[in-house]
Amino acid sequence: MNKPDYSDVVMRPKLVGKRIKRTEDLRLLTGTGEYVDDVQAAGMVHVAIRRSDRPHARIIAVDAHAAFDIPGVIGVYDMTDFEGECEPAVPTSRMKDYYATPTWPLARGKVRYVGEPVVAVVAESRYAAEDALDHIVIDYEPLPFAIRQVDAVKDDAPLLHEEAGTNVIVRREFVRGDVEEVFRTAPHKVGGTFRMTRKCPSPMENRSYMAQWDKRNRALTLYSASNIPGVVRDVLSGCLGLSSHQLRVIAPDVGGSFGGKGSLYSEEMLVCLLARKLQRPVKYVADRLEDLAAMSQAFDELIEAELAFDDEGRFLGLRADVIGDVGAFSIYPWTAALETVQVISFLPGPYKTEAYHGRIRGVLTPKPPTGPYRGVGRPSSTLAMERLVDMAARKIGMDPAEIRRRNLVRREDFPYRTAPGIIWDQSAFLECLEGACAALDYPALLDRRDAMRAEGRWVGLGFASYAELTGIGSRISVAPGMPINTGTETANISIDATGVVTAAFGVASHGQGLETTLAQIIADELGCAMADIIVLHGDSSLVPMSTGTYASRSAVLGGGAATVTSRGLKAKVLRMAALLMEQQTGDLDLHDSTVTSRASNQSLTIKEIAKAVYNQMGRIPRDQREDLVFQETYDPYLGTACSSTHLCMLEVDPGTFGVRILDYVVSEDCGRIINPMIVDGQVHGAVAQGIGAALLEEVIHDGEGQSVAASLADYLLPVATDIPDIAIVHIEAELPNNVGGFRGMGEGGTIGAPAAIANAISDALAPLGVEVNKLPATPDRLFALVRAARQDKPPAE
């Protein structure tokens, strides 16, 4: 049978575009959600992990005899107990000059960062397992290390992975035009060193895993607080020597991720191995200290960048050299290139820059691996680029909004290929800038700033304009040569005999409201009532191939899959209705769960049609009967641009050097908005996270390789009083050329906020000659910058 036509006919929205309360909130707000730690099983045991307290050392011996004196201890395991029982997870890539470090369940032979899992204790309770940790003695032989990326990158630096032969495990360059000639002849140049220090994702729910071995079927079920259950299933089945049908990964309700739950962790491998070995359910739940010490971290990019421009403020050339601190391992599946390569890939942002040279080196250091974090690479690249733009405006005395107007890619330029090769299909780059200026009445805001400055107050304005690629399809996802497909999404939608619509997806929600937004799309496209729809997700067994939720993909790919699959199922329903009603399908409409005929007064509900299909044999000719099930995979092939401009005004206290944000607006283009209430919530939350990155959050490793952020008393997260009222302007310009017209938007706040705040602080302190190029801009850091400026010398680091 021929598939129905999926040409994207624009439909009049019914639910898409409406502020509908999230359907999942009923269980989440009443305490009836189910997280991994809520999952119980008969005979379940618990794991506690003894972690390395050394940054780099060889494991000589492990003495665990005294641990068995603790009542309830069942076993103590190190990596020697699993030799031959598993293979490592290797984040492969076709990138030139890349080395893929293996990931094992426990440290194998030596440790490479403080916090790396070394020994696992299994006990009847977590309390007993924790008590036993103190009775384990590990003998280490210390090894040399370089904790800073500028030292680790040197040829004579101590090696973390000797087999790699270097600490530089990824290199990449993008070149377009004669950059050297452009910089030699350019009328003006500005440059600097820019850095966003290490961050920890810090979701509300810590990492949690529970594995259960089914002796009868010789199969494992892993409950994981993950946003990539499909990826975890695929890699662990290979590591453990299981076929895919012998391993099921379920992500139940997940309490946030921000990227931190978007990679494979050693502890997931560990609980699966222990469950199979002991043939008992095994649970591990990290505490906050463990997540601060061992969850994947973000940023730590050292960016040397320079911008060339003419007297009119037109950009002529851009160049950057980046050293990315990737930590001790290349994370699975995203590789060590995830953060660093995206910095130079997205550095030109939404601006026309014809001559470009970007180079990165990803360097191993004895720290937790860097991995996905909301915005991936773009917060750092936007910080560098937007600081350069403001520096250029100041150098030639041009308004920062005007210099952006002159260089942003305009409507007539789309599709625009950036110097690194990213294609912006179309987005409201200029319109977002104008929307932000209009929302805060930019001329009046300038007057207000100047009046406050005249009173002796340190007040400044800051812009940040950025663009990102969202909902990437197969053409982009295959480019790095990673071991997974991230460019497609599959939906399976069925109608049962009672008329209930069940929609299964490979995505996995960790707070985005996907059960609501996907149901809104299905209701509109299929023509059924939203109350009749059940959305299933977060389970590797639901569809043949799933990966998860990351990279602003769920609305574009999941929404696209929901759209095309709903249309295919609707065509089936109409064909069955036409047979039952003896009408032509072209004369039938399906809306509000009812099929009506324009040629007669007949109507049938979806429930009545389903009953006829499944229960009333003979009503439909046997050779024409179709089950009310449809499955389709959607691939947008490339991806679509999403853009925004942030504008803020803030004040720096000259006594405490604290920063208070006075006004903030986000003007963004995320295409057709599915649910404005959810979009606004995503924007507010992301800006709050971006404010934390700009002003508070920092993971610091001292010279001994120890992290000084041992708790949330040391690693400071933003609280309600740190967050201003945030105005949002939705720009629905020309819709992208994909099914549904959706763009991803979940990461924008973390991308734009740090750069806007850095520019605003720099503007506030410009009369003192201070530039803020390193974040977070903590009070002590600002104090040092001001003191150094007053003493006319560079600040001490």
CA distance 172 to 151: 20
Average pLDDT for runs of 10 along the chain of length 797: 41 80 94 96 98 98 97 98 96 91 97 98 98 98 97 97 96 96 98 97 97 95 96 96 93 96 97 98 97 95 98 98 97 92 96 96 97 94 98 98 98 94 93 97 98 97 96 77 83 97 95 95 96 96 89 90 97 96 94 93 95 93 95 90 96 97 96 94 96 97 93 94 96 84 90 98 97 98 95 71
Chain-centroid distance of CA 90 in Å reads 21
CA distance 772 to 760: 9
What's the domain count of the chain?
Answer: 3
Residue 359 lies in a domain: yes
Amino acid in the structure at residue 250: I
Q: So what's the pLDDT on residue 797?
A: 62
SS3 content of the chain, % helix, strand, coil (to 5): 30, 25, 45
Q: So what's the pLDDT on residue 475?
A: 79
Which of 273, 294, 315 is where one domain is finished? Answer: 294
- Whether 645 and 735 map to the same domain: the answer is yes
CA distance 131 to 76: 12
Residue 15 lies in a domain: no
Residue 16 lies in a domain: no
Residue from 738, 652, 644, 733 nearest 694 by CA: 652
Which of 272, 294, 316 is where one domain is finished? Answer: 294
CA distance 90 to 73: 32
Q: So what's the pLDDT on residue 479?
A: 67
CA distance 36 to 254: 8
- Whether 550 and 435 map to the same domain: the answer is no
What is the value of pTM for the model shown?
A: 0.95
Could you report how far apart the first and last alpha carbons of the chain are, in Å? 69
CA distance 143 to 36: 38
- Whether 630 and 641 map to the same domain: the answer is no
- Whether 416 and 367 map to the same domain: the answer is yes
Residue 175 lies in a domain: no
- DSSP for residue 736: P
* CATH number of the domain that residue 237 is part of: 3.90.1170.50
Strand, coil or helix: what is 320? strand
Q: So what's the pLDDT on residue 796?
A: 64
Strand, coil or helix: what is 261? coil
Instruction: Give tens-digit pLDDT for 707-729.
Output: 998 899 999 999 999 999 999 99
CA distance 666 to 642: 13
- Whether 608 and 661 map to the same domain: the answer is no
Q: Which residues contact 368 (CB under 8 A, 6 or more apart)?
A: 113, 115, 293, 294, 295, 296, 297, 327, 328
Residue 316 lies in a domain: yes
Note every long-range contact of 779-784, with CB atoms under 8 Å and residues 24 or more positions apart, other chains counting.
779/656, 779/657, 779/658, 780/657, 782/652, 782/657, 782/659, 783/657
Q: Which residues contact 30 (CB under 8 A, 6 or more apart)?
A: none
Q: So what's the pLDDT on residue 9?
A: 40
Quick one: three-class SS letters along 330-352?
CCCCCCCHHHHHHHHHHCCCCEC
Residue from 20, 35, 439, 363 nearest 168 by CA: 363
Residue 431 lies in a domain: yes
- Whether 450 and 323 map to the same domain: the answer is yes
- Whether 617 and 630 map to the same domain: the answer is yes
- Whether 563 and 641 map to the same domain: the answer is no
Task: Name the H helices within 240-287.
Answer: 266-278
- Whether 515 and 539 map to the same domain: the answer is yes
Residue 1 lies in a domain: no
On whether the CB atoms of residues 507 and 548 are closer than 8 A, the answer is yes
Count of helix runs (H) and strand runs (E) in the chain: 19, 29
Quick one: three-class SS letters along 575-630?
HHHHHHHCCCHHHEEEECCEEEECCCCCEEEHHHHHHHHHCCCCCCCCCCCCCCEE
How many Å is the Cα radius of gyration of the chain?
Answer: 28
- Whether 323 and 421 map to the same domain: the answer is yes
Residue 188 lies in a domain: no
CA distance 133 to 420: 50
Residue from 143, 526, 101 nearest 330 by CA: 101
Q: Which residues contact 611 (CB under 8 A, 6 or more apart)?
A: 497, 498, 499
- Its domain, for residue 541, covers 25-32+488-634
Which of 634, 650, 673 is where one domain is finished? Answer: 634
Dihedral through CA 98, CA 104, CA 109, CA 110, nearest 10? 70
Query: What phi, psi does 210 have (nearest 5°)?
Result: -140, 125
* CATH number of the domain that residue 595 is part of: 3.30.365.10
- Whether 531 and 399 map to the same domain: the answer is no
CA distance 630 to 235: 28
- Whether 316 and 452 map to the same domain: the answer is yes
